[in-house]
Structure 1
């Protein structure tokens, strides 16, 4: 996967030092800290933290359970709404969601309850003798789910609890989707993503078939014929292009490809690391890429965005993480030309400085050259067109580069539903994908019952 960087040397850092660089970004609470923090919650009746939560977790209720020592009760309350609550507690942007809405987050106090860490505490310390959500009586219905990421797993779990049989078809060798392959290693450490998948599957009634790619060895027409319903949780599998000459040159690649390799690596010291690199983008993936390559040992990391810092989709919290890791952020500059050395490898990137005129981005004509042995693209993902290339799938209605769905996650094809990052509504957040999967499962269940 990292053929584009094979000319670079590996990280010149000892494995134990690298392991320390990729330990938890936010250390977990111990029992004493969790007890003290839970007592700070005011248990608001009309809790704004719950109202803003995309997965509708009853935040005051689970925190109160922690306060009285009922850890399993807290965990069950979280999982009832968000079966992937453990990973969401680590990666969800709580600083712009529940913790931002917390009533303690005001000028006088300015310190919201640490909801994310409390959620993580409950789910890390739960001890169930059996799965907390037993399955309903078997319905005899079978549902196919394409994609074992957060949306697909959430949908599968909810359908299984409702008594349906579920088969998940996953293109990768492991389940987990973004949690397994796309999140910064210092956010989801170790095998936490796989442990969460294993717990979810304990509900029963769910089987997973890996290395099954829609449009290659798996086809929508067959799935519609063999199953009572199909849920597409395809994610966004293709990185957008810059549209510049030399984009396939050694030294230039998609940030998500490097992050995936990093997350699957057993020895981080073997990863190729440039002395200087450029990351192009403004989202959380761009931040994740820049911070991780800096922690691997890159001496100069520059993140470049074509607009101003106020327009970046990465939260201020994420931007501060980048700055704390000595990532230089350059704004108002757009890629213009890839620069090469005599061997044809990337040696830098030329940018044109930009500004806004009547709300529209325009180049100024002034250029900026940034030396780099590697350039990582983090300018967004789009739906992999190859996944919907068979005759039936080709008829699925699109909305720009995503799949159109109605209010009940139905696509334009009968029996076919979709959710997660591959559909038009919502944000590209893990917690939002989990909610899509859960609501789609309820819609599928209601439609199947209506047909009966």
Structure 2
């Protein structure tokens, strides 16, 4: 084991102008001409597999044909009818494993149609136009629905219900609506305050009130919502983080990756954000990648992602892993943390035990490895972590809310969707699909 180095955590590692360049849009927009050329690659398949691969069922060939015909507004309407958060999903969905993975052009040419970039082209054009609103609410029904959580699932549910003429009140613990889209994604994926611009576009349809600073803390709160509203939708996401359970976890410089990402997203001046010279991120998902890449962008000289299994089980997509490596992040696999070392209360590195599969079981090999670090980010997963749900009588499964296919829970009049619901993929686009499906079921329930 090497001797720990002195901690070096500080802000302003870069020149003032470098921050804007480094945190600029990671995926530049298509020009109009580029969009038309890319649209012309689409074969407009009958029973298109890309549509089936999209959790929200966007009619991909239809919107791409409209782009090719120069009808960008019609393309956006096709997208947003199926996915009211289509702008954000175009930016952050793992299209390479969803619609683009199913694209016939992949088989023919080894390169899919750039569905995600075309989707963004259409939605951005309409949102930035002088007529951004595409939809009109149905006449008011006089019925009210409560939505807990202003993330993708809650917003999709609220928007769908509002279009059907219902009044919706959305409750959220944070200061801004948006959930994961506002607080949990890398800044370079959603520059120019897009998450809030999308929220404002969605709310502009009318009939939706957002109340921030409200957290579900007691069973009495949920009982009151059930009594005061015709139905309740729970779209709270996952608010708690997993512990490593190793010595040194409470040292200074050790932090949950989701907190780091949220702080960075809410920072107007990234030059004021302190970052270590050596950073270790423990985990293998998208959150780990976002934290690692942004550490590098802030000026960290050495950034390692350490994951306890092999590459085939990393939940971060292959594209995300490649993006991390392109940005100078070293990905180390088969390493499980056993202790975070420190001096004078400050983290100085992580001791790992090398792992191997033995008869299908993950076991330590007996070898260890130390990686020096003055900042350590934990990204090993999140949990629902709200005892109120169990106390209220909701059936749980695997630590999340158990539901029917339409999101109905074991409590009459209560639906759930998004990451807080069991059995999902933990994707923004799936959360939107959950919210829409629950909204239709709620509409049928309160319209009887």
TM-score band by shorter chain is over 0.9
Provide the aligned length of Structure 1 versus Structure 2.
440
- How far apart, in 1, do the equivalents of 2:327 and 2:122 lie? 30
- How far apart, in 2, do the equivalents of 1:195 and 1:130 lie? 11
Q: How does 1:270-285 map to 2 (within 5 A)?
A: 270-285=272-287
Contact in 2 for aligned 1:213/1:387 (Cα 8 Å): no
Residues 247-283 of structure 1 deviation map (CA, whole Å, 9 limit, x = unaligned): 2221111000000000000110111110001000011
Contact in 2 for aligned 1:72/1:128 (Cα 8 Å): no
Residues 119-157 of structure 1 deviation map (CA, whole Å, 9 limit, x = unaligned): 000011113636322111211111000000000000000
Q: Residue 276 and residue 404 in structure 1: after superposition, are their counterparts in 2 closer, same or farther (change >3 A)?
A: same
Name 2:4's counterpart in structure 1: none
Residues 224-258 of structure 1 deviation map (CA, whole Å, 9 limit, x = unaligned): 11111000001001110001123222111100000
Q: Give the RMSD, CA atoms, in angstroms.
A: 1.5
Q: Residue 130 and residue 278 in structure 1: after superposition, are their counterparts in 2 closer, same or farther (change >3 A)?
A: closer
Q: How does 1:23-172 map to 2 (within 5 A)?
A: 23-106=24-107, 109-126=109-126, 127=129, 129=131, 131-172=133-174
Name 2:362's counterpart in structure 1: 361
- How far apart, in 1, do the equivalents of 2:404 and 2:214 lie? 27
* TM-fit CA distance, 1:388: 3.3
Contact in 1 for aligned 2:406/2:434 (Cα 8 Å): no
Q: How does 1:227-306 map to 2 (within 5 A)?
A: 227-306=229-308
Q: Which runs of 4 or more aligned residues in structure 1 lie more than 4 Å from their structure 2 counterparts after TM superposition?
A: none
Which consecutive unaligned segments of at least 5 residues does structure 2 have? Answer: 1-6
Which consecutive unaligned segments of at least 5 residues does structure 1 have? Answer: 1-5
Residues 366-395 of structure 1 deviation map (CA, whole Å, 9 limit, x = unaligned): 111110001100000100225537x5x3x1
TM-score by length of 1: 0.95
Structure 1 residue matching 2:105: 3-state secondary structure: coil
Structure 2 residue matching 1:379: 3-state secondary structure: coil
- How far apart, in 2, do the equivalents of 1:204 and 1:410 lie? 26
* TM-fit CA distance, 1:426: 1.9
* Larger deviation, residues 212-221 vs 167-176: 212-221
Structure 2 residue matching 1:412: 3-state secondary structure: coil
Q: Residue 46 and residue 128 in structure 1: after superposition, are their counterparts in 2 closer, same or farther (change >3 A)?
A: farther
Name 2:412's counterpart in structure 1: 414
Select 1:400's aligned residue among 383, 387, 398: 398
Name 2:321's counterpart in structure 1: 319
- How far apart, in 2, do the equivalents of 1:250 and 1:7 lie? 12
Contact in 2 for aligned 1:403/1:411 (Cα 8 Å): yes
* TM-fit CA distance, 1:408: 2.0
